[in-house]
Amino acid sequence: MCNTCGCNITEGNRHLLTPVPQTNLLGNNPARVLNSLMEHNDRQAETNRSVLDRHGILTINLMSSPGSGKTSLLESTIRRLDGRWRIGVVEGDLETENDAQRIRALGVPAHQITTGTACHLDAHLVQKGLAHLDLSQLDLLFIENVGNLVCPASFDLGHHRNVTLLSVTEGDDKPAKYPVMFRAADLMLISKTDLLPYLGEFSPERAETCLRNLASRAPVFRVSARSGEGMEQWVEWLSTELLAYRELLKSRKTMMPQVQSEGRRLHALAPEITFRPLAKAD
């Protein structure tokens, strides 16, 4: 996975790279080694969570494949809440500020993180994103992760709950095909249900069965940002989680998300990941 494609290295954790003392025979710059990626990420995640807890901000990590409707869900949620809670959004994409601009157009503060090549957010990137928001003015923070059904489930960002979207355009067997992602879900949303009349091959019941076969007890809601189906149920879930979170804070406790051990092992297969720049062409 990331040890092959290189997405372990983000602008957030690049400072953890350390020089190897010797140079190679070609005269290239020294290799650099990233040690204990997950350990550093987890320490930063705990710091992030402490900051969020100090401000009493319930933080939801939205995960899904690209195009499943995360930003549309957020837009519909913001409109439906109509100022009931103070909301902020951290957006994650490889490039562009498109999604953050859509959120800001609704009067909600949003910071865009562009990851370049990384196919997920990590705790260091989120820490930098938090610095751009006035946390004293927030009750609820959404982190819209990079569209990807693999890597995001392995990284604790310092958040409290994972919500995984499954669009009806994707296929109802996705929980079976991508078990790490769906095991991480504290809630699964079957999105774009207004398209179900045109997609007879998608069965919400089969999708939920695939989730239950993973021994997941996460609730499953059917939602449509366009028609409004299920949005009240989704908002009620958020309200229940926010109240539960605030009760925990009174006892100096916090909520912890599901972070999947299988994915974490794949992201840390080797104790060291070595990167060497290509030789310069003559």
**Residue pLDDT, tens place only, 84-95:** 999 999 999 888
d(CA 184, CA 203): 22
Closest CA to 93 of 102, 85, 81: 102
Residue 15 in domain: no
Q: How many domains does the chain have?
A: 1
Residue 12 in domain: no
Residues 220-227: what's their mean pLDDT?
98
Residue 279 in domain: no
In the structure encoding, which two tokens stand for residue 2, read together?
Answer: 């990331």
d(CA 90, CA 158): 13
d(CA 240, CA 236): 6
Q: Taking 90 as the threshold, does the pLDDT of residue 106 lie above it?
A: yes
Q: Identity (one letter) of the amino acid at 119?
A: C
Structural domain including 99 reads 38-263
The full 3-state SS of the chain, as one line of letters, equals CHHHHCCCCCCCCHHHCEECCCCCCCCCCCCEEEECHHHHHHHHHHHHHHHHHHHCCEEEEEECCCCCCHHHHHHHHHHHHCCCCCEEEEEEECCCCHHHHHHHCCCCCEEEEECCCCCCCCHHHHHHHHCCCCHHHCCEEEEECCCCCCHHHHCCCCCCEEEEEEECCCCCCHHHHCHHHHHCCCEEEEECHHHHHHCCCCCHHHHHHHHHCCCCCCCEEECCCCCCCCHHHHHHHHHHHHHHHHHHHHCCCCCCCCCCHHHHHHHCCCCEEEECCCCCCC
User: Residue 61: CB partners within 8 Å, gap ≥ 6?
Assistant: 143, 145, 152, 157, 159, 161, 162, 163, 257
Q: Taking 80 as the threshold, does the pLDDT of residue 163 lie above it?
A: yes
pLDDT band at 1 (very low <50, low <70, confident <90, very high): very low
pLDDT band at 4 (very low <50, low <70, confident <90, very high): very low
Residue 280 in domain: no
Closest CA to 141 of 122, 119, 157, 118: 157
Contact 111, 165 (CB under 8 A): no
In the structure encoding, which two tokens stand for residue 231, read together?
Answer: 């949005």
Q: Taking 60 as the threshold, does the pLDDT of residue 6 lie above it?
A: no
Q: Taking 60 as the threshold, does the pLDDT of residue 20 lie above it?
A: no
Residue 64 in domain: yes
pTM of the full predicted structure? 0.83
Distances (CA, A) of 274 to 12, 19, 20, 271, 277: 18, 10, 9, 10, 10
State the chain's mean pLDDT as an integer: 86
Residue 83 in domain: yes
Q: What is the CATH number of the domain that holds 100?
A: 3.40.50.300
Residue 24 in domain: no
User: Residue 128: CB partners within 8 Å, gap ≥ 6?
Assistant: 11, 12, 113
Residue 75 in domain: yes
Distance of alpha carbon 264 from the chain centroid: 14
| pLDDT at residue 264, as a whole number | 55
* Percent of the chain topping pLDDT 90: 70
